Chain A
Amino acid sequence: MVNLRMANESQNRIDAALSGTDARLPDVLPTKGHVIGAAQDPRDVTKHAPKIRIDKASLWYGTKQALFDVDLTIHERSVTALIGPSGCGKSTLLRCINRMNDLIDSVRIEGKLTLDGEDLYHRDVEVEILRRRVGMVFQKSNPFPKSIFENVAYGLRIQGVKNRALLDEIVETSLRRAALWDEAKDRLHESALGLSGGQQQRLCIARALATSPEVLLMDEPASALDPISTAKIEDLIHDLRERYTIVIVTHSMHQAARVSDRTAFFLNGILVEEGKTDQIFTNPQRKETEDYVTGRFG
């Protein structure tokens, strides 16, 4: 009954994910959607089933409250952008979804978070399985001091995948999707710490993709990338949204407008407004949102 205790589904997906996409990799830069409000083919994702439900979630770091009664529904096969000024709690909310906040002793959470209807914080939930289903790319790139290959293969290896051919295949696919393959293919077995900062971030994206999670949490994945890699990542997100649920934190309004179906604006731990991306950017309901998206904020 509680799927978070079983890994079978995500295991099957590893093969399924392999079959289609790697052949038609984006090698042209996106040409449309570079203007705010002109999100490419705006979709109405509210018809998709809800994947993640956040219900009156509040979070405290010790005595300091960082999230206030956040209500948010994230639909299947959609891209949701979290925007807001620095320190407003975007990363904190993201880390609630894969329970990374468990690692901080002082954190206390109230409210209810569900993935496919299952309570994330139920005491029977195995966080390891949850985290396999909900992958994460961190704000600061954090490659392991291992080879590039081993970095990407890491998630599979800890799941016990030993088949070398499968590992090779997944590593290549993941690196291709993260737009790193061409730069890395000749040095797969060199240390990942020898990559540039932007390459390291793309490596972390490849690492998260390798285990084919259902949900991908991306905390400013493009903050250290040049425009070309950024475009590649955005194309990747565009591809992934057909199958995955993506939550992306970004400081770039343009990026949010380009990649996301829905956008949530946070201020001081409060979810101010959430809606269809083009609506948030062209016709915000709240004054704070309008100030922020038009750059008049603070």
Chain B
Amino acid sequence: MVTTASPTLQASSGGRGRPGETWVFVTAGSLLTLIALLVGVILLLTLNGLSVFWPHPIARVTQNDGSVLIGQAWRGEAISQDSSDTDAVRMRTLYRIGNRRELGSEFQWVDDDAVKSIEHPPEIVFIERLEWGPALGTIRGVKRAGVPLADLAPDDFDAFDDLVDEARAERIGALAPRVDEAKLITTLELADGRTVDIPLAAIERIVPANAYGPVDRVLSWCASFGRFISENPRESNTEGGILPAILGTFLMVLLMSLAVVPLGVIGALYLNEYAKQGPLVRFVRLAVSNLAGVPSIVFGMFGLAFFVYTIGAHVDATLFSDKLPTPTFGTGGLLWASLTLALLTVPVVIVSTEEGLRAVPRAQREGSLALGSTRWQTIRTIVLPAAMPGILTGTILAIARGAGEVAPLMLTGVVKLAASPLIDATPPFLHLDAKFMHLGFHIYDVGFQSPNVEASRPIVYATALVLLVFIVILNLAAIVWRNRVRRKLQGSTF
């Protein structure tokens, strides 16, 4: 008879739940917060980045005092006011009025109270120009060699587009001819009735946003986005595209991977396969993982001192002495920046490769060795293939870290505007010594060093979005590859 003091399966005291139960909510809450923050960041970047290219409607705003302006509503804010009536919050809106050359400033605040009427007449256009930012107004005719083209309605935008394409031939390189030299000239009427002459060759694109239907808007969005990622920047990076920055980032990451993967894998192979395990190896391992914690700017300094000033100077002295004192490799460039980042990311590759190597069953190595293979044959044919997922994980982590790193690059070769392309038709085609542009640095430069902060803000968002997408694509590609390797290793099921 043991039934007397048998413990029950229910909670013993007062329904307070099991000890530690509240931690479930704390942990779940933290996770939720994190996810919310992440989603917030991604949403913010995506919305802001994508709306940049949207053809926003162009408003003609008439104010109470009779003055008129043409512009795109940019953003609104509350006006700080005295405490007298707290209920009604007065707002004002910032309009991008463009025409910087003619009006002096590209933006103008308008009190919402002072607005008499807002219209969106279909004939006003937004004109992207090579210089002086956008122009907004109504097209009042086109002159060819001084003679007005008679049969041209102010809303015949297809005809305007054809003329813009035709005028492109007048450009000298990327420069437009002056007004007095240009053959094709358009006359634009501004909001205040003034007219300005603009050479058609100086026009990149005419966007009649108000005349667009939904399909036109989407097409226009695509065109703008396409040009953003396929063109060179203009106007000290506040306009135009970011192609050189994309290319620079891509090539830098590629070179970095080419350097870091063999370096890390060989290092890990030695540590794990050849070195006699002992205190020394343990110390090296510790040192390697601590290397990952060194601030990246320190790597930048090392890269500058070692690669640029030491190795680069020697390379110049031996191979490019005819060009001295102009440095070739003795100054920051694509190669040195990539190698610096390779050093920065090599610990990640070593650590995850070692993990991959350790996961290879001892029995398989023995099976191979027992058949008379050498240690290297075993590594090459059995160990490395089986460790491939680990190696690829390391590569993914290295790319993710390397693609977003900016600080060390600022010391080793990144510039706000590259003088020459990284790839061109002159040998050696890929210019390892050239300075390059980088998406991360571009964000910093455009966002904080730009002469026209308000106008370049959207570009910052768009560039950030591109950088994010770029890293996601690189990672996805590597992950898909890793999964394929993994599937091949596992074979079918038992």
Contacts and interface: CB of A to CB of B under 8 A. Distances in A.
A67 B367 CA distance: 23
Contact of B491 (A105, A145, A211): A145
27 contacts: A103-B365, A103-B369, A128-B373, A129-B372, A131-B370, A132-B372, A138-B363, A138-B367, A143-B367, A144-B368, A145-B385, A145-B386, A145-B490, A154-B373, A154-B381, A158-B368, A158-B374, A158-B377, A158-B381, A190-B491, A192-B491, A193-B491, A193-B494, A197-B494, A204-B367, A207-B367, A211-B371
A144 to B, nearest CB: 6
A21 interface: no
Interface residues of A, number: 33
B30 to A, nearest CB: 39
Contacts of A100: 366, 369-370
Contacts of B492: 190-191, 193-194
Interface in A164-217: 190-194, 196-197, 204, 207-208, 211
A100 B369 CA distance: 8
A154 B368 contact: yes
B372 A131 contact: yes
A105 B362 CA distance: 14
3 closest A-B pairs (Cβ-Cβ)?
A191-B491, A132-B372, A142-B363
Contact of A194 (B367, B374, B491): B491
Contact of B372 (A128, A140, A190, A192): A128
A100 to B, nearest CB: 6
Contact of B493 (A130, A154, A194): A194
A6 to B, nearest CB: 13
A59 interface: no
Contacts of A154: 368, 371, 373, 381
Contacts of B382: 144
A193 B490 contact: yes
Contacts of A194: 491-494
B80 interface: no
A159 interface: yes
B489 interface: yes
A89 interface: no
B449 interface: no
Output the residue of A145, A194, A207 with the most chain B CB within 10 A.
A145
A55 B489 CA distance: 43
Contact of B364 (A105, A132, A142, A191): A142
**Chain A: interface secondary structure?**
helix
A37 interface: no
A136 B367 CA distance: 8
A84 interface: no
Contacts of A207: 367, 371
B372 A211 contact: yes
A208 B371 contact: yes
Interface in A131-164: 131-132, 135-136, 138, 140, 142-145, 154-155, 157-159
B277 interface: yes
B384 to A, nearest CB: 12
Given A105-B277, A131-B371, A155-B372, A144 B364 contact: yes
Contact of A105 (B276, B363, B489, B490): B276
Contacts of A159: 372
Given A105-B277, A190-B491, A193-B492, A138 B372 contact: no
Contacts of A204: 367
Given A100-B369, A144-B367, 6 more contacts: A131-B370, A131-B372, A145-B491, A158-B374, A194-B492, A197-B494
Nearest to A131: B372
A257 B381 CA distance: 39
B361 interface: yes
A194 B369 CA distance: 23
Contacts of A103: 365-366, 369
Nearest to A196: B494
